Chains A and B, each alone.
Chain A
């Protein structure tokens, strides 16, 4: 794709502000050496950059950072993904197909059709997710944005869970299962127990968090005790949770009386999140809790001893162990907290958006959470922003499908391309001709440069 630039620039993504002070090849060395401790130990499932969000690097001028830094790369990655998605939309458009038959006679027709097909879908996407100018009232015009926030809520909390595990060097694919188990417990407390207002909701929340933490912590225990790989364990646990949910929904304890479909009773009114902007929007208290969770995770990672241990284990488990950190305990704890965060998504689903338990309770939030965490570079606020973005995609895609007939699946394409491009900054820079190689730079870390004299090809 980009043979122009030499492989030694093929770095993993350097953190914000890292790559100007340290040239690209230095970041490569840093990434690989942190990842594997010089090849001496097994690889962490997660690259150092995804774990730390920021690699050590010197200060930098603001302007340079904007133009070649990771912020710009992120924007360009989104742009590139949108362009490719637009081309995909255009490629199946009827008007484009018609005009392509006389492409050589009037190429402008063809290009206009391509532009129209892509922009029409994206405008519908925007109107369905942020602002709809055709709404009758201000409230109706901002309804799409409220919908975005509603859908972003479970994405943010589950994404935080995945991100937290990333930072501890664990690849948590199990958010899906954790959401399901949390949903089961929260829903049961919600419809089977009848408690006073306030206490009931609190108990629903606690039950959900415990459910998720249990399911996540179980993976942590198995990983710590037996050394089984968490990727396999979490994938399997997702399926086990799903089938368990399907089984429960066919038992009298969970199935709605008089119903043959696998669906639970509706949760008590005292057990659901209040809607924060009135009943015309679905947006519920869960969103505020998601903000609180983001703050909490930020504090945990950056200000607490436990979080420091997580990050130390993530960066280099052997060094952490040598330094006296109990790696097993960290693994179990981080998976439990990650599960608890995903559990909040389960609660947001059953007590906020859906108000019942079905076997689609987790939808694809658990898997989307992985891309959310990756896009957010595993930082709490990055994950929050990425959750909002993907929430907007999800909300807008529904409108897009209704208005323009573009299938929702395009969102999956754009989402995955964004993550793919963001993970490979050299590719994005090469596409946009922004490779920092072209500029003369001060080499600050000569010693580290020596570590990578060769290339990756």
Chain B
């Protein structure tokens, strides 16, 4: 994916600088390293040993249809041992192909890494379910639940994309989510209208962002410091107001009416796809729209080109007449509004009241999703889905009873992020000017 606007890949014609932005591709300017092939082989071997050879000889059953679908598909039955072997052989095959490419001096293509991750997750899933006390889960439920859990993550990482693409590091995503959740709850409770609550959440997120923008752009305070401090500040203010205002009068201030699930007739009954795409709350639909709008905006419009120019090379952008700091200010504000909407998911969709620290560190996961997704809205979306999946899998796995302790399942997204940041993704490069204040002159 082109994280750079200016430098096309050497030795390789670049047909369209934006075409490669849809999937994780290799970073161009570096020589091909052994890292990816070695890591893929390593994980392929892990899959072979643990998910294949050591797998229990039990059949895992994955329910595909829910009762509401208009045609029922039979549940997918996989023998854990056979499934693990087949998938791990496929994984090793992919790893071998990466090694082969490396010997030819070519990097592993993006599809290979993505396919590898998908197959690895599938092998892991079969292994986990196959070893459980009750080896059957509803795949449809698992995926639908993952999407639901990913909603705030997606909004948060979109906020990160908008801020970092314009050159401002946004560590305050957590604060923006929390501020949005709080404001949505209190405003929706007072007006008894969830839509006003949703709008208020966007405003609250934008306000948090404006403080970030003010301090980092006008006062040149280090952006990471402002972000960290803002998280504490929002946590303190919402916690304080929760303890004083909300708890004193719960009926008036902390009982927001929820946003209902809107089912699109017929389409929502398609197995698997239906519940994901067509059985969502308003915030859920907004998520899909936001991802598309941000992606199109950033990579297909004049506004997006300017934004990326400011994030990559502010001096050049300034020379061309773009007001760097104004662009940064409004983009950061917009990012905050997006995260604020994501925050409203907690109080208007997921739970019907606000509690302290309701965002529970998801802002930081969103930050990881943003980097995992390589500063690309679509990449960030899928990375957030992966985290939502791990989160959901953890709770489901606890219910069906597996040999893996639930704490390790909970640890998984963070371990994956460390591996992703340190290895599989390679040296991920953010926008060049991200984090650097721009002083004209």
Contacts and interface: CB of A to CB of B under 8 A. Distances in A.
A457 B218 contact: yes
Interface stretch (A137-145, A199-207, A232-240, A304-312): A232-240
A229 B222 CA distance: 16
B237 A10 contact: no
A427 to B, nearest CB: 6
A375 B437 CA distance: 21
A227 B371 CA distance: 13
Nearest to B438: A456
Interface in A223-255: 225-229, 231-233, 235-237, 239-240, 243-244, 246-247, 250
A47 B225 CA distance: 9
Interface string B215-240: 10111111011101110110111011
Interface stretch (B50-58, B338-346, B406-414): B406-414
Nearest to B363: A235
A240 B422 CA distance: 15
Contacts of A243: 407-408, 410-411, 414
A92 B325 contact: no
A32 B221 CA distance: 10
Interface in B187-207: none
A24 to B, nearest CB: 11
Interface in B384-413: 405, 407-408, 410-411
Among the interface residues A50, A88, A226, A233, which one has the most CB atoms of the partner chain B within 10 A? A226
A423 interface: yes
A239 B411 contact: yes
Interface in A34-93: 35-36, 39, 42-43, 45-47, 50, 88, 92
B417 interface: yes
Contact of A45 (B235, B415, B435, B441): B435
B232 A367 contact: yes
Q: Is the interface of B mostly helix, strand, loop or mixed?
A: helix
A452 B410 CA distance: 49
Contacts of A419: 225, 229
Q: Chain A interface residue count: which class?
A: 35 or more
Interface stretch (A269-277, A343-351, A409-417): A409-417
B86 interface: no
A455 interface: yes
A367 B233 CA distance: 12
B215 A456 contact: no
B72 interface: no
A173 to B, nearest CB: 7
Among the interface residues B222, B243, B422, B423, which one has the most CB atoms of the partner chain A within 10 A? B222
B229 A407 contact: no
A43 B244 CA distance: 41
A244 B221 contact: no
Contact of A374 (B229, B243, B440): B229
A416 B410 contact: no
Interface string A387-431: 000000000000000000011011111111101100110110000
A356 interface: no
B327 to A, nearest CB: 12
Contact of A250 (B229, B232, B371, B405): B405
A232 B222 contact: no
B436 interface: yes
A12 B422 CA distance: 32
Given A243-B410, A412-B239, A456-B218, A39 B315 contact: yes
B147 to A, nearest CB: 22
Contact of A409 (B228, B240, B325, B407): B240
Interface in B47-79: none
B333 to A, nearest CB: 15
Contacts of B225: 46-47, 50, 374, 419, 423
Given A235-B368, A370-B228, A424 B407 contact: no
Contacts of A365: none
A111 interface: no
B233 A417 contact: yes
A236 B239 contact: no
Contacts of A423: 215, 219, 221-222, 225-226, 229
Contacts of A39: 315, 433, 436
A410 B236 contact: yes
Contacts of B240: 88, 92, 407, 409-410, 412-413
Contacts of A409: 235-237, 239-240, 242-243, 356
B262 interface: no
B171 interface: yes
Contact of B440 (A231, A367, A456): A456
A35 B436 contact: yes
B441 A236 contact: no
A232 B417 contact: yes
B367 interface: yes
Contacts of A210: none
Nearest to B171: A231
A43 B436 contact: yes
B245 interface: yes
Nearest to B315: A39
Contact of B407 (A46, A244, A416, A417): A244
A427 B219 contact: yes
A11 B218 CA distance: 9
B427 A226 contact: yes
A92 B436 CA distance: 39
A408 B226 CA distance: 22
Given A43-B436, A244-B407, A424 B368 contact: no
A28 B220 contact: yes
Contacts of A240: 411, 414-415, 418
Interface string A417-451: 10110011011000000000000000000000001
A235 B220 contact: no
A452 B245 CA distance: 47
B113 to A, nearest CB: 16
A457 B214 CA distance: 10
Nearest to A450: B441
B421 interface: yes
Nearest to B372: A232
Which 4 A/B pairs are nearest by Cβ-Cβ distance?
Answer: A412-B236, A454-B440, A409-B239, A407-B243
9 contacts: A12-B222, A29-B439, A92-B245, A229-B421, A237-B418, A370-B228, A371-B232, A424-B221, A456-B325
Given A46-B222, A244-B407, A244-B411, 6 more contacts: A32-B437, A240-B418, A407-B243, A416-B233, A419-B225, A452-B441
